[in-house]
Amino acid sequence: MTAPRPQAPAPSPRFKVFRWKAIGPLLVLLIIAAVLWWLFADTIARHETQKVGTQVIGAKVEIQDLHLDIPHGQVRIRGLTVASPHEALRNLLQADELVADVDMVPLTEKKLVINRIAANGLRFGTPRETDGRVAATSGEGIAGRVLAETREWASQFQVPALQLATGKISIDSLDPRRLSTIPAADALGARADSSRRAWQVALDTLRLGPTLDSARATLEKLRRARATDLSTLNEARQAIDRLKRARDRVTTLDRNVTQGVASLKSGLAGLDSARSRDYAFARSLLKLPMLDASGVGAAVFGPTSIKPFERVLYYMQLARRYMPPGLLPRAATGPTRLRRAGEDVRFPKERNLPAFLVRSAELSFLLRPNAEQPQRYGGRLTGLTSDPALYGRPTVATATGPQLGAGLMLNHVRNIPLDTAGATVGGIRFPAFEIPGVPLSLDPGAATTQLGFALNGDTIRARFAVRSTSVRWAKDSGFASSQIGDLVWRAVSGISNLDVEARISGALHHPDFAVRSNLDQAIAARLRAVLGEQVAAAEKQMRGRVDALVDEKVGPVRARVTEIQTQAEAQVAAQRARLDEVQKQLEQRLRELTRIRLP
Amino acid sequence: MFALIKLIQSLFGALHSEGTPGQLAAGIVLGSFLGLTPLVNVHNAVIFAALVLLNVSFAGGMLGWAVFIPFGFLLDPLFDWIGHSLLLAPALRGVWTTFYNVPIMPLTNFNNTVVLGSFVFAVLFAVPLFFATRYGVARYRATIGERVRQSKWYRAVTASKVYNAYRMFRP
């Protein structure tokens, strides 16, 4: 082997561009790749489906067996388990078998179009042995972000737990620095002083003295003048004009003073509002029980009622992320790999197929699978797609059966998405739940549940109701030492029916939340009867303590504002009176001389 | 360590192969595509097939691949930025939309920011890389190439079993 020359000669005519002898090994390589694909296609597809499903749902998706039948365009999945994104040891659903008829041609465009899915043996809410949450633990990806957002959304509805004062009611812990009235009073006092200085400066800059002196001198001159003394008459008219202009300036100042005084009075009203807030703050330090029925309802059932809303909102927000309206390019996180994932940008095009579409799905599922006679239900899903604007119709799902009616519509065809869901399920046994702050638990028994949920753009309107006639109450550990537990127990232990209704309405970022139940009045009345006097006395004491701290600051500020208002208004009025007096005398003398009625 | 030895052997094996500087440079350029862009993509299958079928230095291709893998990882943020800028440029939206909706093209993952960015970078980088490599190889062979070939450590390296295994697959 010899080294070539530095200036390599031009390729000789015998130079070959192609290395034909390499075709053989390349074909062998292709055959090996094809054999490997044939051997491992099912495994690869299973792993990829699990990975994508987990990424989309935000919880583990597990598949026991997946078989690709490419010649017949069929995918068969056995033993599908989707964990719940919200509960550690619970599945969202399990399916015995799913058979999907896949349209093969769109696969060449990397588009998955499923003409029909038949799902058998669906079961919901089954227990699992390991924590299947992914988004909740990692917080990554679209599901992680949506989960965090919906949790934050739900956290705004945290209502104080039902509780009694513990030990002796005392407000010694009331720290004056945490009262909002005191800094507000300081700020208002400073503002009042600033306004007084500003008005004084404005009054000084009016320079009314020279104007008045000049007008008075003209008046004296006019008194000695005759009707033919035209220059003096003109001078008098000019003096009147100057007085009018000075009066306009005083009027402007008067307007400013009036506005400033109104602002200071508004500040005084703000001090009253701040005092109300301080009362509420001091009341929270006392840990007094809520005695009104609406507060009791929210405290007892609020934390439990908000969960269904939070979960439905999570799935609807996921749907909005994965099924956005419109045809603009959409970026999503790319595939996981050693290299940076980057972003996959999709470019939907009119009159083309969507990237993902399930035309129809037939669902067959069981409710209460562990019961002696599990009941079978049927459902149907149509138009589940990643590009609703291309498909042109909303996603619709329905399920019916004995004691069940459920429906879902995700309408992202237009720019403002409209998502609605509704379900009525009878005979469902809810797990017993603890009453927040009270050592009691409530087993609703077999209940009828209704859920209505509508998300129109950013406006939410939702309702969740539970009705049961076989409620059971149970005492938890710690009941013996709980006064409120005993009180609530006496109020509700004889009540066997339950009727709870929670409603949310308004703008999605800050909606109104209300809970009512048939137990509210009973619990509130019991608490009022036992604790009313004690609570009233404690509240009175608390208000007195707040007033004592706040009045030290508010009283002087209120007096100062009143004084400044009086002083400023008096000064303005005095200046205006002086101007009016001289102007009046000038005009009267002019009329006498000219006998002409001035305009 | 094994990878480093393999890389050194690959480098000198390519430099002292019978191929012309142009063949070696073309091989390195094709190899740079494999190293700079995410490997498991359709375009890399085409690149690999070209490396095998075209009369270029296969050893150079392996060398380019090995050398540019770390650069690929390092430059991923740049590739992401390039791809993002190109894919979301309003002027190119029509082109991408057409590509995205014709058969086969979406399978290339061109709509991934890193894939597109790294591929565009590799294409633009290919021309200067080809000429620089061709010039460098020619200069090397004309100046110190023969002395290196006669040196003891070169003979030690090429005498190793690894090198023998490598020679079985050289073009």
Cβ contact (<8 Å) for A342 and B21?
A: no
Would you tell me how many other CB atoms lie within 10 Å of the CB of residue A548?
A: 10
Q: Is A62 helix (H, G, I), strand (E, B) or coil?
A: strand
pLDDT of residue A160: 62
Q: Is residue B82 part of a domain?
A: no
Contacts of A6 in chain B (CB under 8 A): 138-139, 141-142
Q: Provide the shortest C-alpha distance from residue A325 to chain B (in Å).
A: 17
Question: Considering CB atoms only, which of B105, B141, B149 is closest to A4?
Answer: B141
* Cβ <8 Å between A8 and B20: yes
- Gyration radius from chain B CA atoms: 18
Exposed, middle or buried: residue A422 (CB in 10 Å: 0-12, 13-18, 19+)? middle
Give buried/exposed letters for A444-461 (b at 16+ CB in 10 A, else e).
Answer: bbebbbbbbbbbeeeebe
Q: Which residues of B touch A22 (CB under 8 A)?
A: 52-53
Q: Using a CB-CB distance cutoff of 8 angstroms, which residues of chain A are in contact with residue B55?
A: 15-19
Which residues span the domain enclosing B155? 2-73+125-167
**In b/e form, how buried is each residue of A508-519, taking b as 16+ CB within 10 angstroms?**
eeebebebbbeb
- Residue A19 is nearest to which of B54, B73, B99, comparing CB atoms? B54
A3 and B16 Cβ atoms separated by less than 8 Å:
yes
Angle between helix A230-286 and A208-224 (nearest 10)? 150
Name residues whose C-beta falls within 8 Å of residue A365's C-beta, 6 or more positions apart in sequence.
A119, A121, A122, A123, A124, A376, A377, A378, A379, A399
- A5–B88 CB contact, under 8 Å: no
CB neighbours (10 Å) of residue A590? Answer: 21
Are A17 and B22 a contacting pair at CB < 8 A?
no
Cβ separation A109–B111 shorter than 8 A: no
Residue B132 in domain: yes
Total number of domains constituting chain B: 1
What residues have CB less than 8 Å from B113, skipping those under 6 apart? A331, A334, A342, A343, A344, A345, B79, B80, B82, B83, B84, B87
Q: Which of A26, A337, A345 lies at the smallest CB-CB distance from B52?
A: A26
For residues A93 and A44, is the Cβ–Cβ distance under 8 A? no
Asked if residue B17 is part of any domain, the answer here is yes
Continuous segment of H or E residues that includes residue A98: strand A91-103
Q: What is the pLDDT of residue A9?
A: 52
Task: Report yes or no on B139 lying in a domain.
Answer: yes
- Search chain A and give the residue with CA nearest B117: A342
What pTM value is reported for the model?
A: 0.68
Nearest CA in chain B to A349: B97
B11 assigned to some structural domain: yes
CA of A349, closest CA in chain B: separation in Å?
Answer: 7
Q: Closest-CA residue in chain B for A341?
A: B114
Strand pairing report for A356-367 and A112-124? parallel
Residue in chain B nearest A347 by alpha carbon: B97
pLDDT in tens for each of the 599 residues of chain A? Answer: 344 444 555 555 566 788 888 889 899 999 999 999 999 999 999 999 999 999 899 999 999 999 999 889 999 999 999 999 999 999 999 999 999 999 999 999 899 999 999 998 888 888 999 999 988 777 778 899 999 999 999 988 866 656 554 444 455 567 778 888 888 899 999 999 998 898 888 888 878 888 888 888 888 888 888 777 888 888 888 888 988 888 888 888 889 888 988 988 888 888 888 888 888 888 777 666 566 667 777 777 888 888 899 999 999 999 999 999 988 888 888 888 889 999 999 999 888 899 999 999 998 887 666 666 667 788 999 999 999 999 999 999 999 888 889 999 999 999 899 999 999 988 777 778 777 767 788 888 888 999 999 999 999 999 999 898 888 888 877 777 677 677 778 777 778 888 889 999 999 988 988 888 888 877 777 777 777 777 777 778 888 888 888 888 888 888 988 998 898 888 889 888 988 888 898 888 888 877 654 44
Backbone angles phi, psi at A590, to 5 degrees: -60, -45
> What pLDDT, on a 0 to 100 scale, did the predictor assign at position B160?
61
Residue of B nearest to A333 (CA): B112
Which of B34, B97, B135, B155 to mutate: most A Cβ within 10 Å? B97
Task: Choose the mutation target among A23, A48, A109, A339 for the interface with B, i.e. most B CBs under 10 Å.
Answer: A339
Within a domain: residue B133? yes
Amino acid sitting at position B94: G
Distance from CA of B166 to the nearest CA of A (A): 17
Residue in chain A lying closest to B144 (CA) = A3
d(CA A462, CA A305): 11
Shortest CA distance from B82: residue in chain A:
A342
Q: Which of A11, A19, A109 sits opposite B101 (nearest CB)?
A: A109
Would you say residue B99 lies in a domain? no
Name A473's bridge partners.
A442
Q: How many CB pairs under 8 A join A and B?
A: 122
Query: What is the C-alpha to C-alpha distance for residues A314 and A390, in angstroms, rounded to an integer?
Result: 24
What local confidence, expressed as pLDDT, does residue A69 receive? 93
Whether A344 sits inside 8 A of B103 (CB atoms) is: no
- Record the tokens describing residue A513, joined without a space: 């939340």
User: What was the pLDDT predicted at A370?
Assistant: 65
- With CA atoms as reference, the chain A residue closest to B57 would be A19
Chain B closest-CA separation from residue A72 CA (Å):
20
Hey, are the CB atoms on A19 and B52 less than 8 Å from each other? yes
Are the C-beta atoms of A19 and B52 separated by less than 8 Å?
A: yes
Assign A66 to helix, strand or coil. Answer: strand
* Chosen from B68, B73, B111, B130 to mutate, greatest number of chain A CBs within 10 A: B111
pLDDT number for residue A444 = 83
What pLDDT was estimated at residue A596?
52
Between vectors from CA A291 to CA A290 and to CA A293, what angle results, nearest 5°?
A: 100
The closest of B114, B72, B43 to A343, measured between CA atoms, is: B114
- Residue whose C-alpha is closest to residue A124's, from A404, A363, A400, A367: A367
- Tell me if A345 and B113 make a contact (CB, 8 A cut-off): yes
> Would you say residue B112 lies in a domain?
no
Q: Give the minimum alpha-carbon distance from A8 to chain B in angstroms, rounded to a whole number.
A: 7
Nearest chain B residue (CA) to A328: B93
Of A1, A342, A352, the CB nearest to B83: A342
Query: What is the rounded CA–CA span in Å between residue A322 and residue A507?
Result: 22
Residue of B nearest to A336 (CA): B38
Q: What local confidence, expressed as pLDDT, does residue A4 receive? A: 47
- Residue owning tokens 């005191």: A182
* CA B64 – CA B60 distance, rounded (Å): 6
Phi-psi sector, A27: left (phi>0), alpha (psi -120 to 50), beta: alpha
Written as one letter, the residue type at B162 is: V
Of A5, A343, A352, the CB nearest to B101: A352
Say if the Cβ atoms of B103 and A108 lie within 8 Å. yes
Task: List the structure tokens of A125.
Answer: 């809410």
B53 vs A11, A19, A340: nearest CB: A19
A33 vs A56: CA distance, rounded Å: 30
Please report the sign of the dihedral spanned by the C-alpha atoms of residue B60, residue B62, residue B63, residue B68: positive
* Per-residue tens of pLDDT for chain B, all 171 residues: 566 666 677 777 777 777 889 999 999 999 999 999 999 899 999 999 999 999 998 888 988 999 999 999 999 999 999 999 999 999 999 999 999 999 999 999 999 999 999 999 999 999 999 999 999 999 988 888 888 888 887 777 766 655 555 554 454
Helix H or strand E encompassing A446? strand A446-456
Nearest to A219 by CA among A585, A577, A578, A594: A585
**Residue A141 near residue A58 (C-beta atoms within 8 A):** yes
Chain A residues inside the 8 Å CB shell of B76: 339-340, 342
- Among A5, A108, A339, the residue with its CB nearest the CB of B76 is A339
Q: What is the reported pLDDT for B43? A: 93
Nearest to B55 among A16, A334, A343 (CB): A16
